[in-house]
């Protein structure tokens, strides 16, 4: 299964869906809902099978920048006896409409398949295979299409159709707060059983560390990693398995006991060249990243002993999600 590079949040509202002429109000699980495409004069409608509601979707894209779009939430269809899943039906009153050419894809990532059908009695039903279902089931998917006449001449096209299945991972994300309270961590920290002093903060119940502090502490172990910073691009590259090159100031502890304010950082972080979805906050000019995000990326164990108030990092064991 492809893992989307996008992070999403969806808020239900009453809105006009992606340029469709009809304004939608309320919701109704399991209903089949038809919408005029473009305008009431276009002569084209789209029926969504299992329509629930229309949402505003916000999140962070694969480029690290925020996005805001709209999408229809629909029931995930049942598998038909022929192994397909029916999503939409396009209807038209245009007698010249002969062929529908569609280019289904993932929002923000592009086309994943193609679909061509001839209109029958002014209708085309769009169904997908198991392979396409696997691609789209946890993502916002798109259904741009073009209508051609019998000679292959262009008649019309519609590109702003976006949908997502109810219960999809695309609807479960909640974006991090822009500003947070950061409390100096009071827990003991150990790396492979040895005590290490970190300038760490507790933010919304999670421990946040400087990336370079962790790189220095893990240097020489099987889970060591290099850190490179590109100021012009505001980009951090983490390279697993490579020795860390100190720049000075690592593992310095101020001893400050007062709380601080953390501001959500827009820095892009890459792990072995792949964009990572770490949450990073800027405190006192330094970037702090959630310990468990780094542990998952580098694959070292993190433990919490409440009786001794100790956070343990073990490079001999792999990461286990909470």
Domains identified in the chain and CATH numbers: 7-171 (2.60.40), 179-314 (no CATH)
Using one digit for the tens of pLDDT, what is the confidence trace for 197-213? 999 999 988 999 999 99
| φ, ψ (nearest 5 deg) of residue 259 | -70, 165
* pLDDT at residue 25, as a whole number: 32
- Number of Cα atoms under 13 Å in the Cβ half of residue 297: 27
How many other CB atoms are found less than 10 A from the CB of residue 86? 15
* Calpha distance 228→209 (Å, rounded): 16
The closest alpha carbon to 316, from 218, 237, 232, belongs to 218
Nearest to 106 by CA among 134, 64, 78, 127: 134
Name the residue among 105, 91, 102 with its Cα closest to residue 157.
Answer: 102
What is residue 13's predicted lDDT score, i.e. its pLDDT?
36
Are 87 and 126 in contact by the 8 Å Cβ rule? The answer is yes
Summarised one tens digit per residue, pLDDT across range 113-128 is 999 999 999 999 999 9
Give the C-alpha separation, 43 to 116, whole Å. Answer: 20
> Which residues on adjacent β-strands are paired with residue 228?
237
Greater model confidence, 186 or 172: 186
- This prediction has a pTM of 0.54
pLDDT digits (tens, 9 = 90+) for 151-170: 999 999 998 899 999 888 76
What pLDDT, on a 0 to 100 scale, did the predictor assign at position 172?
67
> Which bin fits 77, alpha (ψ -120 to 50), beta or left (φ > 0)?
beta
């Amino acid at each position: 299964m492809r893992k989307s590079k996008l992070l999403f949040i969806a808020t239900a509202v009453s809105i006009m869906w992606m340029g469709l002429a009809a304004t939608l109000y309320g919701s109704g699980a399991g209903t089949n809902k038809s919408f005029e495409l473009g305008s009431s004069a276009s002569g084209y409608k789209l029926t969504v099978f299992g329509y629930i509601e229309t949402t505003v979707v916000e999140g962070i894209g694969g480029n690290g920048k925020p996005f805001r779009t709209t999408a229809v939430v629909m029931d995930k269809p049942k598998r038909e006896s022929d192994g397909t899943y029916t999503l939409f039906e396009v209807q038209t009153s245009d007698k010249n409409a002969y062929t529908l050419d569609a280019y289904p894809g993932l929002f923000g990532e592009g086309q994943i398949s193609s679909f061509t059908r001839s209109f029958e009695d002014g209708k085309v039903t769009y169904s997908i295979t198991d392979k396409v279902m696997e691609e789209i089931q946890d993502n916002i998917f798109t259904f741009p299409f073009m209508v051609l006449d019998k000679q292959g001449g262009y008649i019309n096209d519609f590109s702003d159709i976006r949908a997502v299945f109810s219960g999809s991972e695309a609807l479960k994300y909640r974006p991090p707060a822009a500003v947070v309270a950061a409390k100096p961590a009071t827990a003991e920290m150990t790396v492979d059983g040895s005590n290490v002093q970190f300038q760490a903060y507790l933010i919304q119940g999670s421990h946040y560390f400087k990336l370079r502090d962790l790189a220095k502490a893990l240097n020489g172990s099987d889970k060591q990693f290099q850190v490179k910073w590109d100021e012009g691009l505001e980009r951090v590259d983490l390279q697993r398995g490579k020795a860390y090159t100190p720049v000075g100031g690592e593992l310095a502890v101020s001893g400050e006991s007062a709380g601080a304010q953390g501001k959500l950082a827009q820095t892009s972080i890459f792990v072995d060249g792949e964009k990572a979805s770490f949450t990073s906050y800027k405190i006192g000019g330094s970037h702090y990243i959630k310990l468990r995000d780094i542990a998952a990326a580098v694959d070292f164990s993190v433990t919490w002993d409440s009786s001794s108030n100790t956070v343990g990092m073990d490079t001999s064991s792999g990461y286990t999600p909470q």
